[in-house]
Amino acid sequence: MSSPVTPLSSRLLKGLALAAFLIVLPLSSAFAEKIANFPLLPAGTGSIRVFDRDGRFAGRILPTGRYWTPINQIPKFLQDALVAVEDSRFYEHNGIDFKGIARALVKDVAKGRMAEGGSTITQQLIKNKFLTGEKTLDRKVKEAQLAMDFEKKYSKAQILEMYFNEINFGNGAWGIAQAARLYFDKQPQELTDAECSLLAGIPKAPGRYNPLGDPQKVALRRSVVLKRMVDMKMISERERQNLMAHPATVIKPGKASYYLAHVKAKLIERFGAGVLEQGGLDVIAAMDLNLQKLAEDTLRDGVRKLSPKLQGALLCQDPATGDVLAAAGGVDFAASPYDRAFLAKRQPGSSVKPLIYAAALEKGFTAATLMNDTPVAYDRGNGQSWTPVNYERKGFGELPLREALAHSNNVIAVKLLDAIGVPYFSGFAGTLGLSLHPQNGLSLALGTDEVTLSQLVSAYSPLASGGLRSEPRTIIRIYDQRRRTWTEIPPAVTPVLAPATAYVTTQMLKDVLTYGTAKGLKKFSQERPAAGKTGTTDDYRDAWFVGYTPQLVTGVWVGQDKPKPGGRGFTGGAVAAPIWGRFMKGALAGKPAPDFAKPETVVTATIDPSTGKLATPECPHPREEFFLPGTEPTEYCPKHGSAPAPPAGQELAPEQELQTQEPATPPDAGAPQLR
C-alpha cells in the first residue's frame, strides 16, 4: 500500500521537479532595455541642510529624483558585503543556485511552508523589477527563467550594478544613491566600510534592518554581514573586530517635518524645483527648535485628548519681525503631511471680528460706543432676507463695543460692519494681509470667507506690534556651499495701523481672556498681559483661537479635514484656547511679562459704561477707557447726577477728568457666552 501524499511532501516533489526543469530550461527572448533606468548621479550634489535660528540642526531636505550609480562608483567593500550575506555563490552560478534551492527545500520541510531562501541576487533583481512577492511555484519558475536569461545577456558586474540601483533600502530609499544620501548624506563612492556593512544588511528586510530601525536588530544584522565576510575570507577577524568597535554614525530624521516641508516649498518658490536635486545649501530658518517641539507636542496631545478623528494646526510668530518661530501643520506628519498651518483654508468664524472693530475705531467709533443687539433683517435680493442672531439666539440689549467684542456678539458685529461699509473693511483687512471677498457682504462679520491660519496670525500681528505688519518669514539666510556666498532675507515690516488703534483694540481684546469667550485663560492673563479672540463656525465645524502678548502672536485651529459638525461645546473657547494657553505658558516660561506699550496719542478717560459719557461722582460703575485722539467723550453722564463743580475761580475741562476713579469691575462673569 502506497503512502499518502501530504501537502509538505507535495511541496518537496514540486521543488525537485522545479530543479529538474531548470536544468533543461530554454532561454527566453532577450531584453532590449538599457541597464541604467535613471539619470547618472551628478558629481558634487548634496542635501539641503536646515538649521534653526540658533544654529541647531533641524533636518535635511532630500532630492526626490532617483539616480543611477555605475558599479565603479560603488565601494568594493559594499559589493563584497552584499555578495557575502545575500548570495555567496554569486560569481559561480548561472543565475540559479541549486545548492541554495536544496537548502530552501530543507527549510520547507522544517517549517511546513514555502521558504524564501534560495534566491540569488539575480533572482531578487528579477523579482523586484518584473514580478511580485507572491510565494508560489509559478512565480518561482518565471523568476528562474528570467534570471538565467539575465545571466546570459549581462555580466556579473552589470547584474550587481542593476541590483544596487533597483533594490529597496528602506524608508522610501530606492537604490544605493538614495540610501547613501538618506542615511549618511554622502555619495556612494564616499561611503566608509562601516557604513557599507550597515547598507549590505538591509535588502533581506528593509523595514527591519534599515539603519533607522531598532538599534539592536540593526546591530545584529551588521554582525551577520561581517561574520559572513570573515567566513568567505573577504576580511580578517581583526578587521571585523575593528568595524564592530567603530560603528557608523547615521543621520537621524529631521525634528520639524511640517516646518521643513514649508521651507522646501519656499526654496522651490525662490530658486525653482531644480534646487532640490542640486542641493548644497545650508538654510538658517526662523524657527526656534524648542518652540517647534513644544508646538508639535502641545497640539498633538491637545487634539488627541479631544478625539482621534480631529486634526489641528498651531503657528507662532514674532510680531516684530514676522519670524515664524513654530509651525505645526497637523498632529502627525507621517500619517498626514498636509500642512494645515500654511495651506488649509477654513472659515475663521468670529476670530475675524477684531479686525472689524479696529477698522471701526479708525472710522470714529470707540470702545465705549453703545449699540443694540436687536436682530435686524437685511435684504439679500430676490425677495430673500437674512437676519443674523447671537449664539444661542439670546439678546442683551444695548452694549458698549468693548463688551460686545468680549462676548462675541454677532448682531452687533454685523451692524458695525454695515455702519463702516463692506468695501472699506475689505480694503482695511487687505492692508493687514487678509484678502477677503467683498461679494460675501455683511456675512464677512461672522467669518464666512476662508483664510489660512498663517494669514490670520499675520493679520493679528499689527495689533501686537503697535501697528506694524510683518510678512511671515520662515528663512533668514541661505548659504551656498559651492559659491561660498550668503543670501540674506531681511524682515519686511510695514506700518498699517495707527499705534493708537492697535493699542485700543488690544485693550478691548484683553477682556476676552478675563470675562469673555476665552475666560478659561483668565489665570494666564493675570500672570502676563495678553489679548486674543475665539472663533467658532456654523454647526461647530471649526474652532479657532488667535491670541498674543507683546512678544508672541499664536494661532490654533482644530477641526476635521472634511468639515463635520463637532457638536455643542466644540467652540474656540473650549477647544482651541486651552491648547493656546498650554503652548504660550511653555513658550514664555522664564521670560519677562511686559505690558503693551501705550502710545502717547492714546487718550484715557473715566466713563460710565452704561452711557459712554464721562463719569460723574454718582456713577455706580465708572471705568477707565481708552480712546483714539479726538474720539474721547466731552459730555458727562446724564443718568447719574451732574458734572462735578470746578474749583473756585477755575473752570474744569473734561480732559481733566482723567484717571480719577477706579476702573469698574468687568461685566458679570456669569453672562451668557456668545460665539
**Residue 228: pLDDT over 50:** yes
Averaged pLDDT, 446-469: 98
For residue 60, give the H/E element and its range.
Answer: strand 57-61
What confidence score (pLDDT) does residue 131 get? Answer: 72
Q: Pairing relation of β-strands 475-480 and 485-488?
A: antiparallel
Q: Which residues of 289-309 are buried (b: 16+ CB within 10 A; e: fewer)?
A: bebbebbbebbbebbeebeee
Q: Which three cell numbers stand for residue 432?
A: 493687514
Question: What residues contact residue 554 under an 8 Å CB cut-off, 6+ apart?
Answer: 314, 315, 316, 317, 457, 546, 547, 548, 580, 583, 584, 587
- With beta carbons less than 8 A apart as the criterion, state whether 210 and 219 touch: no
pLDDT over 90, % of the chain = 77
What confidence score (pLDDT) does residue 109 get? Answer: 58
**86 catalytically annotated:** yes
pLDDT band, very low/low/confident/very high, at 42 (cuts 50, 70, 90): confident
Distance between CA atoms of 474 and 125, rounded to whole angstroms?
43
Closest C-alpha among 285, 314, 114, 119 to residue 203 = 119
Averaged pLDDT, 130-135: 70
Q: Tell me the β-bridge partners of 409.
A: none
What confidence score (pLDDT) does residue 33 get? Answer: 45
What confidence score (pLDDT) does residue 672 get? Answer: 32
Residue 309 CA, chain-centre distance (Å), reads 17
Distance between CA atoms of 473 and 470, rounded to whole angstroms?
8
**Residue 128: pLDDT over 90:** no
Ranges 139-143, 276-280, 589-593: which has the least confidence: 139-143
- With beta carbons less than 8 A apart as the criterion, state whether 537 and 302 touch: no
Distance between CA atoms of 49 and 85, rounded to whole angstroms?
34
Domains and CATH numbers, the chain: 7-40+66-172+188-245 (1.10.3810.10), 314-587 (3.40.710.10), 602-675 (no CATH)
What confidence score (pLDDT) does residue 373 get? Answer: 96
Closest C-alpha among 190, 196, 218, 216 to residue 206 = 218
Of 119, 197, 257, 350, which residue is the catalytic one?
A: 350
What confidence score (pLDDT) does residue 346 get? Answer: 97
- With beta carbons less than 8 A apart as the criterion, state whether 221 and 204 touch: yes
Residue 460: count of CB within 10 angstroms of its CB: 30
Give residue 384's identity as a one-letter amino acid code: Q
Backbone region of residue 535 per phi and psi (left: phi > 0; alpha: psi in -120 to 50; beta: other values): beta
In which residue are the cell numbers 533641524 written? Answer: 58
Averaged pLDDT, 583-588: 98
**Residue 5: pLDDT over 50:** no
Ordered DSSP codes for 144-200: HHHHHHHHHHS-HHHHHHHHHHHSB-STT-BSHHHHHHHHHSS-GGG--HHHHHHHT
- With beta carbons less than 8 A apart as the criterion, state whether 146 and 26 touch: no
Closest C-alpha among 49, 53, 121 to residue 86 = 121
For residue 555, give the H/E element and its range.
Answer: strand 553-559
Higher pLDDT, 186 or 1: 186
Q: Which three cell numbers stand for residue 306?
A: 479631544
In which residue are the cell numbers 567566513 written? Answer: 231
Averaged pLDDT, 150-170: 95
pLDDT band, very low/low/confident/very high, at 659 (cuts 50, 70, 90): very low
Residues 369-390: tens digit of each pLDDT? 999 999 999 998 888 999 999 9
Q: Tell me the β-bridge partners of 544.
A: 535, 557
What confidence score (pLDDT) does residue 478 get? Answer: 98
Residue 632: count of CB within 10 angstroms of its CB: 20
Question: What residues contact residue 590 under an 8 Å CB cut-off, 6+ apart?
Answer: none
Distance between CA atoms of 443 and 669, rounded to whole angstroms?
28
**Residue 219: pLDDT over 80:** yes
What confidence score (pLDDT) does residue 535 get? Answer: 98
pTM of the model: 0.85
pLDDT band, very low/low/confident/very high, at 132 (cuts 50, 70, 90): low
What confidence score (pLDDT) does residue 342 get? Answer: 98
Closest C-alpha among 663, 404, 395, 629 to residue 512 = 404
What confidence score (pLDDT) does residue 447 get? Answer: 96
C-alpha distances in Å from residue 27, one per residue of 129, 153, 509, 541: 19, 10, 81, 64
Residue 146: count of CB within 10 angstroms of its CB: 21
Closest C-alpha among 11, 25, 51, 64 to residue 178 = 64
What confidence score (pLDDT) does residue 30 get? Answer: 35
Backbone region of residue 461 per phi and psi (left: phi > 0; alpha: psi in -120 to 50; beta: other values): alpha
What confidence score (pLDDT) does residue 557 get? Answer: 98
Residue 239: count of CB within 10 angstroms of its CB: 15
Residues 458-511: tens digit of each pLDDT? 999 999 999 999 999 999 999 999 999 999 999 999 999 999 999 999 999 999
Per the prediction, the chain carries an average pLDDT of: 89
Q: Pairing relation of β-strands 475-480 and 281-285?
A: antiparallel
**Residue 215: pLDDT over 60:** yes
What confidence score (pLDDT) does residue 383 get? Answer: 86
3-state secondary structure of 371: strand
Distance between CA atoms of 547 and 528, rounded to whole angstroms?
13
- With beta carbons less than 8 A apart as the criterion, state whether 465 and 503 touch: no
3-state secondary structure of 504: helix
pLDDT band, very low/low/confident/very high, at 55 (cuts 50, 70, 90): very high
Distance between CA atoms of 481 and 427, rounded to whole angstroms?
44
User: What does the radius of gyration of the chain's CA atoms come to, in whole angstroms?
Assistant: 35
Residues 346-355: tens digit of each pLDDT? 999 999 999 9
Ordered DSSP codes for 379-436: EEETTEEE----GGG----EEEHHHHHHTT-HHHHHHHHHHH-HHHHHHHHHHTT---
**Residue 127: pLDDT over 50:** yes
Averaged pLDDT, 566-580: 96
Averaged pLDDT, 317-338: 97
Averaged pLDDT, 329-337: 96
Q: Which three cell numbers stand for residue 610?
A: 452704561
Closest C-alpha among 603, 618, 609 to residue 663 = 609
Give residue 639's identity as a one-letter amino acid code: K
**Residue 662: pLDDT over 60:** no
Higher pLDDT, 417 or 24: 417
**Residue 164: pLDDT over 90:** yes
- With beta carbons less than 8 A apart as the criterion, state whether 254 and 58 touch: yes
Distance between CA atoms of 600 and 134, rounded to whole angstroms?
78
**Residue 26: pLDDT over 50:** no
Of 86, 151, 161, 195, which residue is the catalytic one?
A: 86
What confidence score (pLDDT) does residue 538 get? Answer: 86
Q: Which three cell numbers stand for residue 573?
A: 473657547
**307 catalytically annotated:** no
